[in-house]
Structure 1
């Protein structure tokens, strides 16, 4: 199973429309991959709070249309990172979109843990309530977003629901980069699953992004890691390694709580 993580530079001087078109072209270029992953809120930037209202869109909005077409053209499963979703009642959500190789929207995930404490996303957006997986042809993927990474209970629920891959788009700040890389490895080790952690690059909303997207195997080994700039990571995964790791070192069997 070949996965490509697209670490997108979310530059405030690039228009949202231009970035949509550019990212769609990058997705189309991954036609040999099975799964392509984009970062969190890449159309606007995860910290560009002032843009959330302006660019909020329904699930069949312009970003979904562009990503659907790109997934179909490349014939890949596409985790489109996330967008600012405007629900029918007007509530905003940080929502991930997963498209099949035919371009159909197969799954959505509203971010459960909202970052910002008493400001930003935490006050502007509603929180998701559903633990979400999606069955790919060769593995089950568990969905989480950025700040979710700090809450191991979510990932254990995903593992209990059959996840072998944990896919985590993010807009993580550079000043906490060590937390980003450490926690990505921790979630892989404790759940004996692959972690595909895709962060954005550049600076938006005045916040420098961590970059350093990475793919971690079920034993906690980093198979590939990006730098700080826009970059594409392509890694071949063996889903059977998840079952083998869990059988060879059956720590999950010894859970008490």
Structure 2
């Protein structure tokens, strides 16, 4: 599978409509070069531009949805379109959108773990409730994407849930600050290693709302090796993933089979023998 991560530079002096058109053009340029294209978190306005969240919020099928659906269709790619500020039912959500090569919405994911502690996203946005996976019927082998967003990267239990749902590739769009870049790289590799899955972590570049962004989007294989890493500026990472490597890694080093905690275990029936102490 060929994947392209488009690390968008977010500059608040660039109008949102102009950035949508520019990003859509970048997606279209990947026609023939990628099967999957990934964009960063909240690239229309910036992940730290809290004062713009309400004003720039959209219904699910709003202007970003329409622009990205058309771009996915024209490029004939699966597109993880990053995330938008979704307005729904009187609340705001940090919502990711995944489109099929036909431009149809294949999945949406509302970010479960909101960053900010007692300010920003944590108090302005409602939390999602369920993990989301997306099956990609690619040849020669299908893949299942596990979808997470930025701060979610710090919560390994979410990624275990995604693995249990069949994920072999994690896609994590982010607006990660430069001052915690070391955590970004470390956590991306850790989630890949502990779950024996590919990690596609796509961040933003530039500075918005006074927060310098880390950039350094990264692709990690199921053994933890870094296949590609961007610099701090706007850039496109292009990589080829081998779906079979997920299965061979898990077969050759079957650590996931030794999991004990957090699993549903069948009740022991009569004659099952004594419990091990």
Q: Which has the larger Rg?
A: 2
Matches within 5 A, 1:35-50: 35-50=36-51
Normalized against structure 1, the TM-score is what?
A: 0.99
Name the counterpart of 1:161. 165
Normalized against structure 2, the TM-score is what?
A: 0.92
Unpaired runs of at least 5, structure 2: 262-277
Name the counterpart of 2:114. 114
For 1:178, what is the secondary structure of its paired residue?
helix
Q: Tell me how far apart the structure 2 counterparts of residues 116 and 170 of structure 1 sit (CA, whole Å).
A: 14
Q: Tell me how far apart the structure 2 counterparts of residues 120 and 196 of structure 1 sit (CA, whole Å).
A: 26
Q: Does 1:55 align with 2:56?
A: yes
CA drift at 1:90: 1.6
Name the counterpart of 1:133. 133
Matches within 5 A, 1:227-246: 227-246=231-250
Q: Tell me how far apart the structure 1 counterparts of residues 8 and 71 of structure 2 sit (CA, whole Å).
A: 16
Name the counterpart of 1:256. 260
Name the counterpart of 2:176. 172
Unpaired runs of at least 5, structure 1: none
Q: Tell me how far apart the structure 2 counterparts of residues 161 and 170 of structure 1 sit (CA, whole Å).
A: 22
Q: Tell me how far apart the structure 1 counterparts of residues 20 and 52 of structure 2 sit (CA, whole Å).
A: 15
Q: Does 1:4 align with 2:4?
A: yes
For 2:90, what is the secondary structure of its paired residue?
coil
Q: Tell me how far apart the structure 1 counterparts of residues 206 and 245 of structure 2 sit (CA, whole Å).
A: 34
Name the counterpart of 1:223. 227
Please report the RMSD computed on the Cα atoms of aligned residues, expressed in angstroms: 0.4
How many residues were matched structurally? 256
Q: Does 1:189 align with 2:193?
A: yes
Task: Describe the superposition over 1:157-207 as per-residue Cα deviations: whole angstroms up to 9, x where unpaired.
Answer: 000110000000000000000000000000000000000000000001110
